[in-house]
Chains A and B, each alone.
Chain A
Amino acid sequence: MKKKIRVLVGKPGLDGHDRGAKVVAAALRDAGIEVIYTGLHQTSESIVEAAIQEDVDVIGLSILSGAHMTLFPRIIELLKEKNAEDILVIGGGIIPEEDIEKLYKMGVKKIFTPGTPTGTIIEFIKKVIK
């Protein structure tokens, strides 16, 4: 039997906007993906630790606070430190175009901006995790 894709949906930092994270988590779940939702106010360390423990394929981060240029690189750095670079990092939130380019260079696989249909996210994950 094919192993189910596992995704950790994480809310790093102090940002309390969880509508997007929850909607994406529910949509992924309904698309047959195993979802672990961390809840709010997680540190980068606790997200990486949970991702490794739960053996996920993808970490999806939701950041609407403007702290994306600090939190994404921190999480990617921690994954490298733990030899867990095979876990893909994607994200969404209030993120300007020019930062998206920079985040891709740092190793973030994909950023989805507000208004993205959930189907696009599901398709993307199913395509990259085979």
Chain B
Amino acid sequence: MTIKKECEKKYDKNMERKKDFSTISNLPIKPIYAPSNNPNFQFEKDLNFPGEYPYTRGVYTNMYRGRLWTMRQFSGFGTAQDTNKRYKYLLKHGQTGLSVAFDFPTLYGRDSDNPMALGEVGKCGVAIDTLKDMEILFDGIPLDKISTSMTINPPAAMLLAMYIVVGEKQGIPPEKLTGTIQNDMLKEYQAQKTWIYPPEPSMRIITDILEYCSENVPKWNTISISGYHIREAGSTALQELAFTLANGLTYVEYGIKAGLDVDKFAPRLSFFFDAHLDFFEEIAKYRAARRIWARMMKEKFKAKNPRSHLMRFHTQTAGCSLTAQQPENNIIRTAFQALAAVLGGTQSLHTNSMDETYALPTEKAVKIAVRTQQLIAYETGVPNTIDPLGGSYFVENLTDKLEKLTYEYFDKIEILGGVISAIDKGFFQREISQSAYKYQRALDKKEKYHIGVNIFDEEEKVDIETLKIPKEVEENQRKTLEKVKTERNNAKVKESLKKLSNAAKNGENLMPKIIECVREYATLGEMCETLKEEFGVYREPIIF
């Protein structure tokens, strides 16, 4: 009798405690896995060694035995002074990289004195209006010693330009700067919904950044192709994987179409994934992602530089999995998710804090989150060997399955005319909101469980300290902005904005013009408005 039949006989349905066993994303799970579940598996073709094509086991040969992942907490609130203080606190407690959270007005390229900014200034991130704020944000932080990730999308070019100029003022040339801008507009239209311009001009700005950085800021990660927001908006693990990779391939296509050499810009593309609750599904997702990317880059785009094949990625634990009920449980959820990210070979990691269903985290909550990563790194022994789950019948089977199903999604997207055309048709938006609703229904019907929400719930008075953003922040920020506007040379600002507008019209690379505007202390809003006049604004199709 084969192992498979033996198992099926032994694990009779009647003996099981529930009818269906499946991942949180509804992939069915067998009672046990054996070699017969992966009959076509070939070690060298599918797995191989870490640092070897197709990189299933990790992008580097020695992974965490060489260097641990970067512990990078996403943070920002209030004014640039407030956030600068938090950064210094995080660095003091052993964090090894910075990650800037901007407030909503900044994310949308609006100044703090814009009417739509009312009540939002400094609330869910730091407010940046001009170079002045950026100088304060990084005051006393040497930009050649630290790498900085900036979660910024429509105005990514402007924030990168500000970073470059702050670097110059510290005496650090652009070629020495290391860091990341998110700059992933496709997932904005699909999931995170922070947009200014329509997709085509957004893609032009992105390819301008690719071109500029490959010449001038060669160590900068130019796009962080993000599944995180797709997942947080409610997608399944498979949709996160498939849509993110489809977006990544679209950027490569556009880069090539703009006349760039794939091996020049592809090595600077990086990725960003969620770490959700279903432990093995997440690990398989990261492994499948590396393999698919390597295969597509080599086979479809004929990239020759091995660095173009590497999927390097950041991970953040799942904010959407945290509960307002029994908030301390969030520490434990986050620890499991972080462990999955490490077992999946992440290059950097953000762990959420327990109080984030209430507000931005307090210092104490953030410290526990950082300690969670340090526990994994220094106490569990998990980083001692590379890809410890490689060869697990189950994990390999799940990895294969996710890869196969991803190709099926690629075909669907292709039939719809590619990613941008599928966005116009509302395909991703519909897929994601349907999955979100399906999951909520499963919770409501108790087909799936969430501790403290639909099982082991209790009447409780939550007593948790939360971070408060003082009311004066908004007022102070507006005052700072006003002061900058009176002190700068307004004629030069006007002139630099005119040059930006001309470049937008005639197709010149926008980056040098934006840097010029930044130097003159043009505001983020002024630069974005200038481009809006040329590029227009995006309107979403309303789907629920």
Q: Does chain B have a CB within 8 A of A13?
A: yes
The proximity string for B residues 219-255 relative to A, scoring 1 for CB distances below 8 Å and 0 otherwise, is 0000000000000111000000000000000000000
A6 to B453, alpha carbons, bound, how many Å? Answer: 27
A115 and B453 form a contact (CB under 8 A): yes
Residues of the B chain whose Cβ atoms lie less than 8 Å from the Cβ of A71 = 119
CB contacts under 8 Å to A, within B342-382, are 356-360
CB contacts under 8 Å to B, within A1-58, are 13-19, 21-23, 25-27, 37, 39-41, 43
Considering only CB atoms, which chain B residue lies closest to A20 in the complex?
B436
A22 and B124 form a contact (CB under 8 A): no
From A39, A66, A69, A94, give the contact of B357 (CB < 8 A). A94
Q: Does chain A have a CB within 8 A of B544?
A: yes
Q: How far is the CB of A32 from chain B (nearest CB, A)?
A: 16
From A43, A65, A70, give the contact of B124 (CB < 8 A). A65
From A13, A39, A117, give the contact of B453 (CB < 8 A). A117
A117 to B451, alpha carbons, bound, how many Å? Answer: 13
Known: A13-B120, A65-B104, A66-B120. A40 touches B193 (CB 8 A): yes
A16 and B544 form a contact (CB under 8 A): no
The proximity string for A residues 61-92 relative to B, scoring 1 for CB distances below 8 Å and 0 otherwise, is 00011110111001000000000000000000
Pick out which of these stretches binds chain A: B110-118, B140-148, B384-392, B499-507.
Answer: B110-118
Residues of the A chain whose Cβ atoms lie less than 8 Å from the Cβ of B436 = 19, 22-23
Q: Does chain A have a CB within 8 A of B452?
A: yes
B323 and A39 form a contact (CB under 8 A): no
A49 to B322, alpha carbons, bound, how many Å? Answer: 35
Residues of the A chain whose Cβ atoms lie less than 8 Å from the Cβ of B357 = 94, 113-115
From A23, A65, A69, A94, give the contact of B440 (CB < 8 A). A23
B444 and A25 form a contact (CB under 8 A): no
Q: How far is the CB of A78 from chain B (nearest CB, A)?
A: 13
Considering only CB atoms, which chain A residue lies closest to B450 in the complex?
A115
Residues of the A chain whose Cβ atoms lie less than 8 Å from the Cβ of B193 = 16-18, 40
Residues of the A chain whose Cβ atoms lie less than 8 Å from the Cβ of B233 = 18-19
Inter-chain contact count A-B, CB under 8 Å? 111
Known: A65-B104, A94-B358. A25 touches B320 (CB 8 A): no
Q: How far is the CB of B217 from chain A (nearest CB, A)?
A: 28
Residues of the B chain whose Cβ atoms lie less than 8 Å from the Cβ of A40 = 193, 540
Q: Does chain A have a CB within 8 A of B107?
A: yes
Q: How far is the CB of A42 from chain B (nearest CB, A)?
A: 10
A117 and B454 form a contact (CB under 8 A): yes
A97 to B461, alpha carbons, bound, how many Å? Answer: 9
Instruction: Count A interface residues, CB 8 Å.
Output: 37
Q: How far is the CB of A8 from chain B (nearest CB, A)?
A: 13
Q: Does chain A have a CB within 8 A of B21?
A: no
A40 to B450, alpha carbons, bound, how many Å? Answer: 28
Considering only CB atoms, which chain A residue lies closest to B446 in the complex?
A117
A18 to B454, alpha carbons, bound, how many Å? Answer: 22
Q: Does chain A have a CB within 8 A of B194?
A: yes
A113 to B322, alpha carbons, bound, how many Å? Answer: 11
From A19, A43, A66, A115, give the contact of B359 (CB < 8 A). A66
A113 to B356, alpha carbons, bound, how many Å? Answer: 12
B108 and A19 form a contact (CB under 8 A): no
B433 and A13 form a contact (CB under 8 A): no
The proximity string for A residues 94-130 relative to B, scoring 1 for CB distances below 8 Å and 0 otherwise, is 1111100000000000000111011100000000000
B232 and A14 form a contact (CB under 8 A): no
Q: Does chain A have a CB within 8 A of B70?
A: no
Q: How far is the CB of B13 from chain A (nearest CB, A)?
A: 30
Q: Does chain A have a CB within 8 A of B324?
A: yes
Q: Does chain A have a CB within 8 A of B123?
A: yes
Considering only CB atoms, which chain A residue lies closest to B119 in the complex?
A70
B359 and A96 form a contact (CB under 8 A): yes
A23 and B462 form a contact (CB under 8 A): no
CB contacts under 8 Å to A, within B91-139, are 104-105, 107-108, 110, 115-120, 123-124
A41 to B194, alpha carbons, bound, how many Å? Answer: 10
A27 and B466 form a contact (CB under 8 A): no
Given A98-B466, A117-B443, 13 more pairs with CB closer than 8 A: A14-B104, A19-B233, A22-B436, A23-B234, A27-B444, A37-B544, A43-B116, A65-B104, A66-B360, A67-B123, A95-B358, A96-B358, A115-B357
Give residues in A with beta carbon < 8 Å to B.
Answer: 13-19, 21-23, 25-27, 37, 39-41, 43, 64-67, 69-71, 74, 94-98, 113-115, 117-119
Give residues in B with beta carbon < 8 Å to A.
Answer: 104-105, 107-108, 110, 115-120, 123-124, 192-194, 232-234, 320, 322-325, 356-360, 433, 436-437, 440, 443-444, 450, 452-454, 462, 464, 466, 469, 540, 542-544
List 5 tightest A-B contacts by C-beta distance, closest first. Answer: A70-B119, A66-B123, A16-B193, A67-B119, A14-B104
